[in-house]
């Protein structure tokens, strides 16, 4: 994997880049639609590609539990299994272990948990196993096992979580490097900077990770319920400490207002489940903000969802029609709103990239 900054903005820390992977070149800054279970909910992979998605995100924890990494490996890897030939980033499952699973026991070796599926069976993630799972999935960008501290954790606990996370990341890096020479191995491993809302811990994380020389660096532990200003403060502060020649990925962040604030901080990659989740709750993006189609004022609104949007939904249907579908609980409402929300974010990123290239951002 090779990352090139093609333009550094003179007016902010924003940059336009190219991330070259074995499955294609990704233009950054980039938004990655989320396909947690190996599907971007309600869309075929062809439709996801048609919206302009260059890379999607999928989830190690969920795929490990169901249908299982070995089954996906026997199917030829996740790309083939789900029929998506562009890059895939898989997250480590750490976030899900700490948010979904029960009875978590953290030891120096890893984390034991009871899944939220299969009758609460016990599992254990170690840094090495999580790399191995992602190898089986065949993801283009892997993430190491980390501990996502609760937003209300005291500083001493966040610091303890960070130290263990950094040890795990070192082990993940060594395990990854040991098998990196394999002929089928074009995969990359990123590091994740944790440290909660504490700038000194974020600095420690960034410094330690830079020494481990990952292919890219993520900022984790945000978008976990903290005030929005804390998210921006930590994203900007941490991004400024990460190596400038590697991609920077802000995990779990991707609403339009977030992208507008965080691209100028020098973030290159974003993901969020919200665009697809909001669509399933009849919400859609407009330049004026997020709207809900069930609002009575849209009953006879024959305008498109967003005036300047070029998505299939906006080119062909009115708010009144999609609202009618939503009220009748027709599946097409979800499909059209998902197409719109994803296209809206991808268009926003393309526009921002073009502004960076022209020194207008």
Torsion sign (Cα): 295, 298, 304, 307: negative
Q: Which residues contact 126 (CB under 8 A, 6 or more apart)?
A: 109, 110, 145, 171
Range in contact with Zn ion (rule: CB under 5 A) among 133-141, 236-244, 264-272, 304-312: 304-312
Place of tokens 């009758």: 119
Told to check if 166 binds Zn ion by CB under 5 A, we report no
Q: Residue 16 or residue 279: which is nearer to Zn ion going by CB? A: 279
Q: What is the contact mask toward Zn ion in residues 259 to 298, using x (rule: CB under 5 A)?
A: ----------------------------------------
Range in contact with Zn ion (rule: CB under 5 A) among 105-113, 230-238, 295-303, 314-322: 314-322
Told to check if 335 binds Zn ion by CB under 5 A, we report no
Told to check if 314 binds Zn ion by CB under 5 A, we report yes
Identified catalytic residue from 70, 85, 91, 200:
91
Whether 109 is catalytic: no
Binds Zn ion by CB under 5 A, chosen from 311, 325, 334, 356 = 311
Q: How far is the CB of 337 from Zn ion (least distance, A)?
A: 9
Binds Zn ion by CB under 5 A, chosen from 309, 322, 325, 361 = 309
Identified catalytic residue from 109, 184, 271, 359:
271
Q: Which of 104, 53, 4, 125 is nearest to 275 (CA)?
A: 53
Q: Residue 30 or residue 309: which is nearer to Zn ion going by CB? A: 309
Q: How far is the CB of 259 from Zn ion (least distance, A)?
A: 16
Q: Which of 188, 235, 242 is nearest to 210 (CA)?
A: 242
Binds Zn ion by CB under 5 A, chosen from 251, 340, 341, 353 = 340
Q: Which of 15, 4, 20, 28 is nearest to 271 (CA)?
A: 28
Q: Is the CB of residue 61 less than 8 Å from the CB of residue 100?
A: yes
Q: How far is the CB of 305 from Zn ion (least distance, A)?
A: 5
Q: How far is the CB of 283 from Zn ion (least distance, A)?
A: 13
Range in contact with Zn ion (rule: CB under 5 A) among 27-35, 71-79, 309-317, 328-336: 309-317
Range in contact with Zn ion (rule: CB under 5 A) among 29-37, 218-226, 260-268, 305-313: 305-313
Q: Which residues of 179-215 are buried (b: 16+ CB within 10 A; e: fewer)?
A: eeeeeeeebbbbbbbbbbbbeebbbbbbebbbebebb
- Cα separations (Å) of 294 from 301, 319, 320? 12, 10, 10
Q: How far is the CB of 80 from Zn ion (least distance, A)?
A: 31
Whether 271 is catalytic: yes
Q: How far is the CB of 82 from Zn ion (least distance, A)?
A: 25
Place of tokens 């400038």: 244
Give phi and psi for 20, each to the nearest 5: -95, 120
Q: Residue 274 or residue 305: which is nearer to Zn ion going by CB? A: 305
Q: Residue 340 or residue 353: which is nearer to Zn ion going by CB? A: 340
Q: Is the CB of residue 241 less than 8 Å from the CB of residue 203?
A: yes
User: Applying CB under 5 A, which residues contact Zn ion?
Assistant: 305, 309, 311, 313-314, 340
Active site residues: 91, 271
């Amino acid at each position: 994997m090779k990352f090139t900054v093609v333009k550094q903005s003179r007016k902010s820390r924003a940059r336009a880049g190219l991330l070259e992977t074995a499955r294609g070149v990704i233009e950054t800054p980039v938004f990655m639609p989320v396909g947690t279970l190996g599907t971007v909910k309600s869309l075929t992979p062809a439709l996801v590609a048609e919206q302009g998605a260059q890379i999607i995100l999928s989830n190690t924890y969920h795929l490990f539990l169901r249908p299982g990494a070995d089954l996906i490996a026997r199917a030829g890897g996740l790309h083939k299994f789900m029929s998506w030939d562009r890059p895939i980033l898989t997250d480590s499952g750490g976030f899900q272990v700490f948010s979904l699973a029960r009875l978590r026991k953290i030891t120096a070796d890893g984390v034991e948990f009871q899944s939220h599926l299969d009758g609460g069976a016990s599992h254990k993630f170690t840094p090495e196993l999580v790399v191995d799972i992602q190898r089986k999935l065949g993801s283009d960008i892997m993430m190491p096992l980390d501990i996502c501290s609760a937003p209300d954790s005291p500083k001493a606990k966040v610091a303890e979580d960070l130290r263990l996370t950094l040890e795990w990341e070192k082990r993940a890096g060594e395990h990854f490097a040991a098998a990196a020479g394999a002929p089928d191995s074009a995969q990359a491993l990123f590091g994740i900077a944790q440290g909660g809302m504490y700038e000194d811990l974020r600095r420690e994380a960034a410094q330690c990770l830079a020494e481990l020389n990952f292919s890219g660096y993520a900022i984790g532990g945000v978008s976990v319920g903290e005030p929005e200003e804390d998210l921006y403060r930590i994203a900007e502060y941490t991004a400024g400490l990460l190596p400038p020649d590697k991609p920077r990925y802000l995990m779990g962040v991707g609403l339009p207002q977030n992208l507008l604030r965080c691209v100028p901080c020098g973030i290159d990659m974003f993901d969020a489940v919200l665009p697809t989740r909001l669509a399933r709750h009849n919400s859609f993006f407009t330049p004026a903000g997020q709207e809900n189609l069930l609002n009575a004022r849209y009953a006879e609104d024959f305008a498109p969802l967003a005036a300047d949007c070029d998505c299939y939904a906006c080119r062909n249907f009115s708010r009144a029609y999609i609202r009618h579908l939503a009220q009748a609980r027709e599946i097409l409402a979800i499909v059209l709103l998902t197409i719109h929300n994803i296209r809206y974010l991808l268009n926003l990123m393309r526009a921002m990239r073009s502004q960076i290239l022209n020194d207008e951002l």
